[in-house]
Amino acid sequence: MVTRLVFIGNKVEKVQQGTDPAGSKVSKKRITVFIVAAMDGHMEQMIVINQYLKPRAFSRIHYDTNKLPVCMQWKATPKGWMNSTIFKEWLLYLNTTIETQKRNVLLFLDNFSGHDCGFELAKEYLTHVRVEWLPPNCTSLLQPVDQGIGNALKIRYHKYLHEHMSKMIFIDKHAMEGVDMLRAFVWLGRVWNSLHSTSTVSRCFEKAGFRFESDNEIIPDLISDVVNHDEQVSLIKKF
């Protein structure tokens, strides 16, 4: 799942104590966060996508983006958005990882163009990853990330942001002082650690209809249930 995240807040210009926020400029600085999670609560590495491979905030402290924490991969595109090239690279990386672990995975994807094109480029090499596509117009119902994982990430991230803003205002500094790509990067790492292998992730899968029949067995016909869900929705709408 791809989500856009405002990394320096909404109101930038007039957020200090005693100022009027009316007419403040809305921040357009965003990063893309690509999230993949499993039914048991495990989360794969996030892919964080920015417009610049080496942001200014990183260069100030000589931070090497090739030495990232285990929870992240760092990518850059002209618009800071997921594309087919990045997605293909990620699919091949996932396949290699799963092969090394001697496992197989079933990956559900929504119909985002970057997913579709990236899959076409990588599919002949996917020996341990099986891909199934969620029905059109049903993503909000069937995508576990849309059932709360993405929202939990945003809420926890903005909690760090708002705590920082409050601290800056309290000491009579500009609320956004010190908020840059590096700090956003650190906060995202903390958020990932707080969500990884938690019940939040597994509950979102359950809400989307993905349930374990027992500790070791997935409900039979899960794939066909998902594929046929759009037909069921269409029938319900007739009544």
pLDDT, residue 98, reads: 93
Q: Kindly report, residue by residue over 159-217, the tens digit of the pLDDT.
A: 888 888 888 777 777 766 667 777 888 888 888 888 876 688 888 888 888 876 654 44
pTM over 0.85: no
Q: Kindly report, residue by residue over 43-57, the tens digit of the pLDDT.
A: 888 888 888 877 777
Q: Which 8-state DSSP code applies to residue 164? A: H
pLDDT, residue 94, reads: 92
Residues whose CB falls within 8 Å of the CB of residue 17, separated by 6 or more in sequence, listed in order: 169, 172
pLDDT, residue 23, reads: 46
Q: Which two tokens stand for residue 136?
A: 């059109």
Rg (CA), the chain: 20
Q: Which residues pair with 30 in a beta bridge?
A: 6
Domain locations in the chain as residue ranges:
2-81+140-237
Q: Kindly report, residue by residue over 2-42, the tens digit of the pLDDT.
A: 555 556 554 444 334 444 444 445 456 778 888 888 888 88
pLDDT, residue 178, reads: 67
Residue 90 has pLDDT above 80, yes or no: yes
- Is-contact 61 89, C-beta < 8 A? no
pLDDT, residue 109, reads: 86
Distance of alpha carbon 115 from alpha carbon 134, whole angstroms: 12
- Going by C-alpha positions, the residue among 10, 63, 55, 6 that lies closest to residue 33 is 6
Backbone phi, psi, residue 57, to 5°: -60, -30
Q: How crowded is residue 55: how many other Cβ atoms within 10 Å of its Cβ? A: 20
For residue 236, how many C-alpha atoms fall within 13 Å in the half-sphere facing its CB? 6
